[in-house]
Chains A and B, each alone.
Chain A
Amino acid sequence: MSEGFSIMVDTSRCTGCRGCQIACKQWNELPATQTKNVGSYQNPQDLSAVTWKLVRFDDGKNEKGQPYWYFFTDQCRHCLSPGCMSASENGEIKQDEKTGAVLFTPKTRDLNFKATLEGCPYNIPRQDPKTKQLFKCTMCFDRITNNEIPACVKTCPVSAMVFGPRDKIVEMAKKRAEELKKTYPKAAALNADDVRVIYVVKDDPKKYYEFAAGK
């Protein structure tokens, strides 16, 4: 399947404001968790059954000794061939034909969580410890099937995220990566041909997040 929708996440534009992280919680009515500062701006520390979108913060120094601060707004990539689905035999995980969204149904409580997580190259699925149901980003399925764009894309003040028909988004992401390469030779549109949520980065993806480009 290669029609449907896609999202480009241009991390070179992202200002790490976390509007997307909050908008996700707001639209999906996900509760806040109790957090503490562990010495970084990132919070919560990881995705969870109630955190489907998380801005990861990573700072360091480059080869020239200059600081960098990368923001990686992590979420399900909605793969064209979803690895998480390999463990799903009874329709627990569905791939919507029209949009391409990969959806976890309530039946995911019957899945082997470890196997499902291992099937995901990007370390995305999370389990509700009480109900055992699995959760992740839905591409705002209830919005995109009602002529609205995903809440995270809508809220982004700097258009770091763009939602649209897959062919256009793939082209846009690849073009953006090419532009960035002029200044940043390591720039890339990560796994553009395999995923629907395409991250454009200007540096080694591992500097953003361990699983940014997959395991």
Chain B
Amino acid sequence: MTNHWIDFKNSDCFLIMGSNAAENHPISMKWVLRAKDRGAKVISVDPRFTRTSAVADFWTGLRSGTDIAFLGGMINYILSNGKFFKDYVVNYTNAPFIVNEKFSFNDGLFSGWDPKTKKYDKSTWTITKNSKGLPEKDETLQHPRCVLQLMKKHYSRYTPEKVSEITGTPVDNLLKVYETYAETGQKDKSGNIMYALGWTHHSVGVQNIRSSAIVQLLLGNIGIAGGGINALRGQPNVQGSTDGCLLWDLLPGYLKIGKASLQTLAEYNKYFTPKTSNPMSANWYSNYPKYSVSLLKSYFGDHATKENDFGYAWLPKVDDDKTYSWMDIFDEMYNGKIKGLFLVSQNPSGSSPNATKTNRAMAKLDWMVVANIFDNESASFWHGPGMDPKKIKTEVFLLPAAYSVEKEGSLTNSGRWVQWRYKATEPPGMAVSDGDIVVRILSRIKDLYGKDGGKYPEPILNIKWDYTDDKGAFDTHKMAKAQNGYFLKDIEVNGQKFKKGDLVPSFAFLQDDGSTSSGNWLYCGSYTNGGNMMTRRGKEDPTGLGLYPNWTWCWPVNRRIIYNRASVDISGNPWNPGRALLKWDGKKWVGDVPDGPWPPMADKKAGKLPFIMKPDGVASIFGPAMVEGPFPEHYEPFEGPLTKNPMSSQLNNPAVKVFYSDLDKYAHNDPKFPIICTTYTITEHWCSGSMTRWLPWLLEAQPEAFVEMSEELAKELGIKKGDRVKVSSKRGEVEMVAVVTPRFHPFKVANKTVHQVGMPFSFGWLIPKSKKDSTANLLTPNVGDPNTMAPEYKAFMVNVKKA
């Protein structure tokens, strides 16, 4: 999140889209309803009327997979009705910048498309620079090739009628949402966009979110109290695990994984360190080498020296044009190329697309280690429905893990607050914490490499591995301090003197010469000589905005709302004095921890632009980093009900990543699979239900798999409430209970009526025991967003019939 949970109380309007906050993030509604008590409007946009819609002021449906069309219509509305926040847009975004004259967009494709490689040559997706290397711009926003005018032209095609034809949302409802939300473009109004997996689980997932970023920037809603793009993260610590490099393309703190083409540290740092010619741009990522070198020092300690590139060669590298995502892993496994697998608190048999392929892939492993608090469908895949244990050679080890209250450590919530938690009780039996599991395994591996040698032993032997206490148990404090980082010699930085062994007070002190370490630069400042900041429980709220600066600690540098320099005008006066997040008092900033200490940008000598992480210092409405285009464009889901995209000749995301094994089959406008399906979770169960289905009270409340459908569809199919039905896709079939409800409705799309159904993916076969697997993911496809490789769980095609 750019903002944080408590800040929701400061919003004037919520657009909850791609999220069912009330069901999946119940606590969020505490703050949404506080704002509503004050008169804030709550809008819920969702294919079905949910528990979130039930407490919203206004709900409207849209067909799954058409969010870009819906938001493109909003961008069009904002621009053609002059509803955007001009001072913000001109000064704080790249809207006035002039785009390369060779950049173009034609019938669904941007310039540079190569149909053979299915990739874009992005060389025309650039901003024109003047002789000083600064972006050419037109602050009147009239230049026909400025970002704003190109964007206006692009989205002029998204008329309410055209959007309605795609989304199935009535024009009146579209306009009502657009009008209500665009009101937040006034400088004293704040709008909050809440999203979750309903936006990411699409072949256009990242562009869904980019669309919302454009809306928020046009309305001046980024960096302000009550604003923001707020990703409601799914698990208590999923933010923390992402910060710690859960994803394959990252190192901790969102540093990039090395590539095969970047063989030296110098090449690596040069490639990932952005440059700017603008003296007013802080370009914070110019510090990249300080963070990468400090990370290497944290990993390899004294073994990392300037002479050996601080051990850069010992880090794994990825092939330049290859992806290594979750779906890739299971595809490679299915193809017999992966022999062993560690699954730590995961249940891919319930949560990965195409469960048949997932289970057959695991059957090709030599061994699999599962660390979990319960058995689950993955650990037991070898004796699941359709599996013959005699024919499966995979050896499975189930390691009993401690539950979150049985271990001490930090959890990072969606608002980036890193909160320390204590052990409430000892884990039962032989269960130990994940930290202990990792420490013990790597210690043994190190011993074995030391004793017996092996291929390329250096990364294993040289890793600094001193995270245990004097009894040999995992010491979470040692790990947390290493994550923060140390000074490795006596040194003076920024006029302050530090001793070897001191903890680094903030990432502004990290160095690229090997004199500091930090396991995650973003967490630098979380555990200092002053103590463990994550344990703080101060309830002071000096701004009255609910920032609670002394409650735990949040990254970066305890800044509660990021991009907060955009909450003030160019002279540093808050856009909304009634909700002043920051103010420049002439000498310093007052309020939240500012995005850097420099004066506001009206000070032409020392001032800095507000978006300090961007080389140009402004937010990117024109976003060339995306794989499929600098402006979001509507493409149909990979499996969809239409043969033609009403917007262009390009049916699907041109850069979509699709897998093609014998088990990966797809239905394109196939009359056998005429119904759109989406999957989700429910309040009562946690994701695949592998934890919650063991709890009798929760199972009592939601006992079995179900599919929700409209009364209209049920009538057509002769299905009644409570009937057992079979839902099938090109990949599998599941039997479940029909929930027939007015909360789903058919959509009128491109002159035809299409039906949609939905189901939670929270059920399986292990608990409660069943001969049939009822996971919704038997149906879903291995289709990925090309930027993130998030699977398209939210829009695919099925058939439904009475069982």
Contact = CB atoms under 8 A, between A and B. Distances in A.
A37 B741 contact: no
Contacts of A38: 721-722, 737
Nearest to A51: B700
A142 to B, nearest CB: 19
Interface stretch (A18-26, A83-91, A126-134): A18-26
A167 B339 CA distance: 69
A156 B30 CA distance: 9
Given A15-B29, A61-B742, A69 B53 contact: yes
Interface string A43-69: 110000000000000011100001111
Interface stretch (A28-36, A105-113, A115-123, A145-153): A28-36
B697 A25 contact: yes
A31 B696 contact: yes
B702 A41 contact: yes
16 contacts: A16-B22, A17-B683, A18-B683, A19-B26, A22-B697, A26-B697, A32-B696, A35-B703, A37-B704, A39-B723, A41-B702, A67-B741, A69-B51, A71-B51, A71-B54, A157-B29
Nearest to A33: B700
B109 interface: no
A22 B33 contact: no
A31 B703 CA distance: 15
A158 B36 CA distance: 12
Contacts of B706: 37, 39
B196 interface: no
B49 A69 contact: yes
Given A15-B52, A40-B721, 5 more contacts: A16-B51, A17-B26, A32-B699, A37-B704, A157-B26
Contacts of A39: 706, 720-723, 737-740
A2 B400 CA distance: 54
Contact of A21 (B27, B701, B745): B701
Nearest to A62: B742
B502 interface: no
Size bracket of the B interface = 35 or more
B30 A157 contact: yes
Contacts of B721: 38-40
A118 to B, nearest CB: 28
Given A16-B54, A21-B701, A39-B737, A158 B743 contact: no
A43 B742 contact: no
A208 B435 CA distance: 49
B54 A68 contact: yes
Interface in B22-72: 22-23, 26-27, 29-30, 33, 49-55, 59
Interface in B640-699: 683-684, 696-699
B738 to A, nearest CB: 6
A53 to B, nearest CB: 12
B52 A18 contact: no
Interface string B435-474: 0000000000000000000000000000000000000000
B742 A15 contact: no
B474 to A, nearest CB: 31
B697 A37 contact: no
A159 interface: yes
Interface string B714-740: 000000111100000000000001111
A13 interface: yes
A70 B743 CA distance: 12
A25 B59 CA distance: 33
Contact of A37 (B30, B51, B683, B737): B737
A15 B55 CA distance: 7
B54 A69 contact: yes
Interface residues of A, number: 37
Contacts of A68: 49, 54
Contacts of B742: 59-61, 67
A12 B706 CA distance: 27
A69 B720 CA distance: 19
Nearest to A60: B742
B54 A18 contact: no
Contacts of B700: 32-35, 43-44
Contacts of B740: 39
Interface string B197-208: 000000000000
Interface string B1-41: 00000000000000000000011001101100100000000
Contacts of A36: 703-704, 737
Contacts of A35: 700-701, 703
Nearest to B720: A39
Nearest to A14: B55
Nearest to A22: B697
A153 B29 CA distance: 16
B714 to A, nearest CB: 10
Contacts of B684: 18
Contacts of A60: 742
A68 B706 CA distance: 20
Contacts of A37: 702-704, 706, 722, 737, 739
A46 to B, nearest CB: 13
Contacts of B54: 15-16, 68-71
Nearest to A35: B703
Contact of A13 (B33, B704, B722): B33
A215 to B, nearest CB: 26
A17 B699 CA distance: 14
A67 B26 CA distance: 21
B30 A158 contact: yes
Contacts of A71: 51, 54
Contacts of B683: 16-18
B739 A159 contact: no
A70 B53 CA distance: 11
Contacts of A34: 700, 703
Nearest to B723: A39
Nearest to B32: A158
**Max chain A CB contacts within 10 Å: which of B55, B701, B740, B745?**
B701
B26 A22 contact: no
Contact of A18 (B696, B701, B737): B701
B403 to A, nearest CB: 16
A40 B706 CA distance: 9
Interface in B213-230: none
A199 to B, nearest CB: 16
Instruction: Give the residue among B23, B53, B54, B720 with the most A Cβ atoms within 10 A.
Output: B54
Contacts of B27: 157
A77 B162 CA distance: 52
A158 B26 contact: yes
A15 B741 contact: no
Given A36-B704, A37-B722, A158-B26, A17 B739 contact: no
Nearest to B28: A157
Contacts of A41: 702, 739
Which of B700, B722, B743 is most buried by chain A, counting CB atoms within 10 A of its CB?
B700
B51 A15 contact: yes
B26 to A, nearest CB: 5
A158 B704 CA distance: 27
A17 B27 CA distance: 10
A17 B23 contact: yes
The 8 closest A-B pairs by CB, nearest first: A39-B721, A39-B722, A32-B696, A32-B700, A15-B22, A67-B49, A37-B737, A69-B54
A44 B700 CA distance: 7
Nearest to A54: B701
B778 to A, nearest CB: 18
Nearest to A71: B54
Contacts of B29: 15, 157-158
Contacts of B738: 39
Nearest to A70: B54
B51 A17 contact: yes
Interface string A65-100: 011111100000000000000000000000000000
A27 to B, nearest CB: 11
For A14, A68, A158, the residue with the greatest tally of chain B CB atoms inside 10 Å of its CB is: A158
A160 B15 CA distance: 22
A104 to B, nearest CB: 22
